[in-house]
Amino acid sequence: MRVAFLGLGHMGLPMARNLVGAGHDVVGFDVVPGAREAARASGLRVVNAATDAVADAEVVITMFAAGHQVIDAYRGGAGRPGLLAAAPGGILFVDCSTIAVDEARAAHALAEAAGLRSVDAPVSGGVVGAENATLTFMVGGARADVDAARPLLEVMGARVVHCGGPGLGQAAKVCNNMILAASQIVVAEAFVLGERLGLSHQALFDVAAHASGQCWALTTNCPVPGPVPSSPANRGFEPGFAGALMDKDLGLAEKAVELTGVDARMGMLARTIYREFVDGGGAGRDFSGIIESVRAPSDDPRSTA
Ligand code: NAD
Told to judge if 173 belongs to the known catalytic residues of this protein, a careful annotator would answer yes
Q: Check residue 300 and give its pLDDT.
A: 60
Considering only CA atoms, which of 29, 23, 25, 27 is closest in space to residue 8?
Answer: 29
Mutate to test the pocket of ligand 1, among 18, 31, 72 (most ligand atoms within 8 A of CB): 31
Centre of ligand 1 to C-alpha 225, Å, is: 30
Tens digits of residue pLDDT in 103-153: 999 999 999 999 999 999 999 988 889 999 999 999 999 999 999 999 999
- pLDDT higher than threshold 60 for residue 24: yes
Mean pLDDT score, 162-186: 98
Residue of 173, 248, 271, 285 marked catalytic: 173
Count CB atoms within 10 A of the CB of residue 270.
25
- Compare 299 and 234 and report the one with higher pLDDT: 234
Length of the chain: 305
Q: Check residue 81 and give its pLDDT.
A: 86
Q: Is 103 exposed, middle or buried (0-12, 13-18, 19+ CB in 10 A)?
A: buried
Mutate to test the pocket of ligand 1, among 5, 8, 11, 62 (most ligand atoms within 8 A of CB): 11
Tens digits of residue pLDDT in 199-250: 999 999 999 999 999 999 999 999 999 999 999 999 999 988 999 999 999 9
* CA–CA gap between residue 291 and residue 243 (Å, rounded): 12
CA pseudo-torsion sign 193, 197, 198, 200: negative
Centre of ligand 1 to C-alpha 249, Å, is: 13
Mean pLDDT score, 177-189: 98
Tens digits of residue pLDDT in 255-291: 999 999 999 999 999 999 999 999 999 999 999 999 9
Mean pLDDT of the chain: 95
Q: Check residue 305 and give its pLDDT.
A: 46
Q: Which atom of ligand 1 is nearest to the CA of 66?
A: 32
Question: Quick one: how far is CA 10 from the chain centroid?
Answer: 11
Considering only CA atoms, which of 54, 46, 56, 59 is closest in space to residue 8?
Answer: 46
